[in-house]
Structure 1
Amino acid sequence: MAPPTSVANAAPASASLPAPRRSSKLLIGVVLAVGLLAAAGAAAYVFLPRFTGAASTEAAKPPVPEKPIFVMLDPLTVNLQAEGRSRFLQIGMALRVRDEHAKAQIVEFMPELRSRLLVQLSNRAPESLVTPEDKARLAEEIRTALNAPLTPQTPELGISSVSFNIFVVQ
């Protein structure tokens, strides 16, 4: 009886032999799929930052400011509206303009612009030029006055700011 049991035991053992072959093929397929996915992930990690990272870093970079264009004005000395004694304002400034065309217009019309400045500054009281706020207000008023069109056909000059480099009240 022992031999038939061994034959009966041998049949299920031979039936289980093809199962490991199928599972080994499945295992090899899973390992290959995981390997391919890992390779694709590594390639994406290496190559995608070059394409998307460059665009995102360029977008994240602040814009490079343009080189400023300044027009230096010769210093002016102006009589101020003082009661009792003579008071003077000596002032030197630089005008920041938007482009070279505006700079050329300012240089071309400099006598008229200096005249505008003299008229505007001579109407000041010395007490109105003391604090930093007074000077900032004066700079804005000068910018507005000088920006006014020089002729009816021309647009405003494009002066963006006025900076003082000499400011003496005597």
Structure 2
Amino acid sequence: MAKAPPKPEPKAQVPAVKSKKPLFLILGVAVLVLGGAGTAGWYFIQPQSAHSRANAELPKPPVFINMEPFTVNLQSEDSDKFLQTAFTLQVKDDAQVELIKLHMPQVRSRLLMLLSSQKAAEILTPEGKNKLAREIIAQANKPFEPKAASQSVTGVFFTSFVIQ
């Protein structure tokens, strides 16, 4: 008997390779979403940063007191010299403004005594003017009453300064 031709072996079917693009796309989106959620959670859980506190605690605008001009005789060197000056005091807050205005005669008297004790040659230089400004602050900060708290004058800004 003649042998029947052998049956051809079925070819092993090679499984079709599926594309992995959708898998990578889904994983990429998941990583981005989880990363964004983690970052947002960290941001809201953390205590306020210094930057956020700085925005919340905006610095107060400066408070100034314009002083009436002063005209004084300076200490005599060779001839009579006069100083005519005007300046503005910078203070801590509005309460200081009211306190100084209430005691303005005392403040002006102190400052007149200080200004009239100066020598023209000493206050003509920038260094002399800076020293005078520090002395004005010291005089303005002296308490008005014994055992009272001192004022809080923090700056002096000359708006006019003429020696003649």
TM-score (norm 1): 0.74
Residue of 161, 165, 169 corresponding to 2:155:
161
Tell me, in whole angstroms, the C-alpha distance in 1 between the residues paired with 2:157 and 2:121: 20
Structure 1 position 149 matched with structure 2 position 131? no
CA-based RMSD: 3.5
Provide, for residues 31-88 of structure 1, a one-character-per-residue CA deviation record: whole Å limited to 9, x for no partner: 1x65144244057559957x849x7794497774321110011001111111342111
Tell me, in whole angstroms, the C-alpha distance in 2 between the residues paired with 1:132 and 1:61: 35
SS in 2 for 1:141: helix
Given the superposition, is the C-alpha separation of residues 144 and 57 from structure 1 closer, same or farther in structure 2, using an over 3 Å criterion? closer
Q: Which amino acid is the alignment partner of residue 76 of structure 1? A: F
Q: Which amino acid is the alignment partner of residue 32 of structure 2? A: G
Tell me, in whole angstroms, the C-alpha distance in 2 between the residues paired with 1:142 and 1:112: 13
SS in 1 for 2:32: helix
Name the residue aligned to 1:13.
12
Percent identity (aligned): 30
SS in 2 for 1:168: strand
Tell me, in whole angstroms, the C-alpha distance in 1 between the residues paired with 2:143 and 2:94: 17
SS in 1 for 2:118: coil
Aligned residues: 157
Tell me, in whole angstroms, the C-alpha distance in 1 between the residues paired with 2:5 and 2:139: 120
Structure 1 position 70 matched with structure 2 position 86? no
Residue of 92, 107, 119 corresponding to 2:86:
92
Tell me, in whole angstroms, the C-alpha distance in 2 between the residues paired with 1:57 and 1:78: 49
Name the residue aligned to 1:83.
77
TM-score (norm 2): 0.77
SS in 2 for 1:74: coil
Tell me, in whole angstroms, the C-alpha distance in 1 between the residues paired with 2:30 and 2:150: 63
Moved more, 106-115 or 144-153: 144-153
Given the superposition, is the C-alpha separation of residues 132 and 68 from structure 1 closer, same or farther in structure 2, using an over 3 Å criterion? same
Tell me, in whole angstroms, the C-alpha distance in 1 between the residues paired with 2:50 and 2:140: 41
Given the superposition, is the C-alpha separation of residues 61 and 157 from structure 1 closer, same or farther in structure 2, using an over 3 Å criterion? closer
Tell me, in whole angstroms, the C-alpha distance in 2 between the residues paired with 1:39 and 1:57: 33
SS in 2 for 1:13: coil
Q: Which amino acid is the alignment partner of residue 82 of structure 1? A: S
Moved more, 83-92 or 101-110: 83-92
Name the residue aligned to 1:38.
29
Q: CA deviation at 1:138?
A: 0.7
